Structure 1
Amino acid sequence: MEQFQHNLSHLFSQLGLNNSDEFIQSFIIQHQLAQHQNIAEAPFFSAIQRRFIKECQEQDADWCEVIDQLDALLRK
């Protein structure tokens, strides 16, 4: 099975968001997760985006590592 190396830019593109470095930094500054909140339940994502994140987590997909990275950045 082929392993993919995804990064934040790829994830934002996959989520249908602007994937520029400036947008990603702004997004992280403007959006934060509560300590108990799962990223797949974040209200600032659309239903389709939340479903994608949840399915990736449930399937332990290639995207999980970068989703975990974004999750950590949203908790700082």
Structure 2
Amino acid sequence: MSVRPRMTNLFEQLGLDSSEEAIELFIATHQLNAKTKITEADYWTEGQRQFLAEKIKSDGSWAIIVDQLNESLHEDSVEK
């Protein structure tokens, strides 16, 4: 049985601190403008970028988590 990925799993896969506090801090300090795709953010390493792109294309449960991260990273750019 495969474990359903969660945001903590995504951060672990990206080699980032996966504690709740670290995830919240990362999201708060890495906001993207509306035109920047998650895979185009300049703070990813090439490996992280490829991992995210792969997971988005896979369209599986990982894609849902990456999409959630994407939405979180664009919170500040959403027009109210």
TM-score normalized by the length of structure 1: 0.88
1:1-76 residue pairs with structure 2 within 5 A? 4-76=3-75
- For the residue of structure 2 that corresponds to 1:63, the secondary structure is helix
Alignment RMSD, CA only?
A: 1.4
Unaligned stretches of 5+ residues in structure 1: none
Residue 37 of structure 1: how far off its partner (Å): 1.3
Instruction: Tell me, in whole angstroms, the C-alpha distance in 1 between the residues paired with 2:59 and 2:44.
Output: 20
How far residue 3 of structure 1 moved from its aligned partner, in angstroms, is 5.8
Compare the two structures and name the one with the higher helix fraction.
2
For this pair of structures, how many residues does the alignment match?
75
Moved over 4 A (4+): none
CA deviations 1:30-67 (Å, max 9, x no partner) are 00111011111111111100010011112224310000
User: How far 1:5 moved relative to its partner?
Assistant: 1.6
Q: Aligned partners of 1:74 and 1:44: how far apart in 2?
A: 12
Q: Which runs of 5+ in 2 are unaligned?
A: 76-80
